[in-house]
Structure formats: C-alpha cells, structure tokens
Amino acid sequence: MKTTIVLRKVSIPFREPFRISNGAAARKDSVIVEIRRGEVSGFGEAGPLTGGAYSAETAESSWDRLEQKLIPFWMESEFAHPAEVGPALDTIPGEPFARAALEGASWDLVGRETALPLWRMFGSQSRPIESGVAIGIFDTLDELLERVDRYLRDGYRRTKIKIQPGWDVEPIRAIRERFGDIPLMVDANTAYTLDHLDTFQELDRFGLMMFEQPFPANALHELAELQRQVKTPLCADESAESQQSLEKMIELASVEIINIKVQRVGGLTNARRMYDRAHQAGLGIWLGTMPELGVASAQGLHLATLPGFNFPTDVEASERWYVDDIVDPLITLSEGGHIQIPDGPGMGYRVNAAKLEQYTVQRMEFSS
C-alpha cells in the first residue's frame, strides 16, 4: 500500500510568554509527523521546548533528524507491530523527541487501521486521568497565591510549585496558610545540593506529596542521602532519563516516585518499559510533560491509564498554555479535575485538518 509521510512544523502562540532561564518563548513550535497509508493517517509529535529549557533538543533538531535519518529508515523497514518501531529507531541514537514522534505516529496509524484505542493496544483499561497544575516562579507571593487560587477553581487535582533557592519555604508556607491542606508538591528542577539539607527539612514539615528533582540529574547518591533524611517522598524527573538511570535509582533507593516523560525516553515503548520496571519495584509513577501540544499529550495519557500511574499527570487542559491546539476535541478538565480520553481508535483525539493547515509553518513530504 502506498505510504506517504508528511512532516510539518506547527507554531501556536502561548497564552502568555513561557518564562525560561534564558528568556521567554512566545510560541510553541512542534514537529508533527503524519503517516498516511491508504485512506488512514496516524499522527505523532516532537515538541521540545524552544530555547532548550528542558532539553538540548529543539524543533529544528527534531526536524533534521526525522528528515535525514529516521523517516528514510522507517520507509525502508517492515514492522509487524508498532511495538517494534521504538527499539528499531533506538539503533539511531540521540534526538529522542524525533524518535517519539515517528513511533507515536506508527502507534496511532495502526490503532486507526485496526479500530483499537491505544489504551487497549497497551493492554490497559480506559479511565479518567487526574490532572495537576504546575505553577512557575513569580516576583511576588501575591501573584503566586492568585494563580494557585485560579487553578484550584479550575479543578486541578494537585498543585505543583516550582522552587529555587530563595523561593521555597516562604511560598509553601503562604500557600498552606491560605489554602490549607490541598494536595501540594514542589519541583526544584535540579536547583539544589545537599548543602541545602535544612531547606528540605523545613519543607518536610508541610506534608507535601513529593519533592520533585531537588538535585542534579546525576546526583543519585545525594538523592538517596536526602531521602534518608526526610519523610516526604522524592520524585525523579530529570534523573529519569533512561532505563539505566532507573535501575541505578532503584538499586540506591534514591527516590520513591518517578515522573515518566514519553518524549525524553524516545517514545511509548521505552516509556512502557520504564513503567513496567518502576511498577514492579513499587515506585509511585506519574506521566510528565515537556510540555507538548495535544498529539503527544494525548498519546501519553493512554499510557497513563495503566495501573500504577497513581499520581496526577502534568498534562493540563489545552487552554492552560496555548491559545489553540490542533487536536479535536481540545484537552479539557472534567468537573472533578480529570481528563477523559475520547472514545475512538488510536489516540482518540482527532487532528483538525483546518487547524493543522492554519498553524503549519513548514512542510515536507516523503513517499515510498
């Protein structure tokens, strides 16, 4: 059957500039992969954040890798099942977002061809996924409290506060005083060392759900030491970059919880493998984001239906970050702060052809 792959870069404005360490991004750029086979299309997304805030990859580097290596390789290969795609693409190392995009499109395509939702292909059950909100660093406590208030009204099931030295204990104390015993956690994005032990001992008194990534990604021994000194569970995010790092963290008892990000580890199959191991080791698990547009978010949500994803996801409503999205329907929160994946094959959400056209800024086509 004739197969065509369409590579697109889409660009959608952020609702407000996304503040990152080296400036602010006004638009979210993602590379969207469409695989057309016969009458059916499957979609995948590579959505690294502009400016390399969370990763070295960019939309441009993802595009280049897809164009030059991954798509030509995929076109020459025969896959009996989409679970074979990820391991095959792993033989071309680097650019995990690009691999995740092509693999995600392969899963979505086969799901649509066989009329199966991804959750069923993963051997899971459909269920609503609890959604949590992540709130950045502000200049004043008043601004922070106003945001927390707003997102609690939206119904998010837990509130995550980004912290850094100088913005940690006071914001948490202020939130506890104002909002009481809400489900609350902090994310340090690697900003501390063991020299800040007393900060974490103070934070330990606020009954937080977890401390996400207090130390640098490779500081696995130091994480284990901190975990021995506090009762709040530690969560690995930046440290959870591969199966090998997960093994090491289990061996050292570095953390009690892991944040699995599909794009960071090169796709759904790799993420599934990490989930299997973490679940077997008794770790708490949740699905993180980079954050992506709706295509990659939706595919991650299917993975998060697996038992053992027992903390709220970072996937938020589409309108939280973006003025629009290309998925139809948009991702929304139910009354109770859950995301309900729409029924339907593949990722459930459809790609809106008109919006895809509207937001595309670059396009290239490959045919077998």
**Annotated catalytic residue: which of 9, 28, 160, 261?**
261
The smaller minimum CB distance to Mg ion, of residues 36 and 261, is found at 261
Shortest distance in whole angstroms from residue 159 CB to Mg ion:
14
Burial class (CB in 10 A: 0-12, 13-18, 19+), 199: middle
Concerning whether 231 is annotated as a catalytic residue, the answer is: no
- Asked whether the beta carbons of 211 and 231 are under 8 A apart, the reply is no
Count the Cβ atoms, other than its own, within 10 Å of residue 123. Answer: 8
- Cβ burial of 267 (10 Å; 0-12, 13-18, 19+) is buried
CA distance 323 to 15: 5
Decide if 9 is catalytic: no
Rounded to the nearest whole angstrom, what is the least distance from the CB of residue 261 to Mg ion in the complex?
Answer: 9
Residue 151 in tokens: 């997102």
Q: Residue of minimal CB distance from Mg ion? A: 237
Q: Which residues of 86-104 are buried (b: 16+ CB within 10 A; e: fewer)?
A: bebbbeeeebbbbbbbbbb
Q: Which is nearer to Mg ion, 226 or 326 (CB)?
A: 226
Q: Which residues pair with 243 in a beta bridge?
A: none
Give, as ranges, the residues between 212 and 251 that touch Mg ion (CB under 5 A): 212, 237
Could you give the string, one character per residue 176-215, with x where binding to Mg ion holds by CB under 5 A and - elsewhere? -----------x------------------------x---
Kindly name the residue from 9, 28, 160, 162 that is annotated as catalytic: 162
User: Which of 41/239 has CB closer to Mg ion?
Assistant: 239
If the CB atoms of residues 41 and 263 are measured against Mg ion, the closer one turns out to be 263
CB of 339 to Mg ion, least distance (A): 19
55 or 124: CB nearest Mg ion: 55
Binding footprint of Mg ion, residue count (CB under 5 A) = 3
Q: What is the dihedral of CA 340, 346, 349, 350, to 10 degrees?
A: -170
Distance (Å, whole) CA 40 – CA 35:
8
Smallest gap from Cβ 54 to Mg ion, in A, equals 8
Nearest to 360 by CA among 41, 108, 6, 14: 6
Query: Is 292 a residue that touches Mg ion (CB under 5 A)?
Result: no
Give residues in contact with Mg ion (CB under 5 A): 187, 212, 237
Give me the active site residues, please. Answer: 162, 261
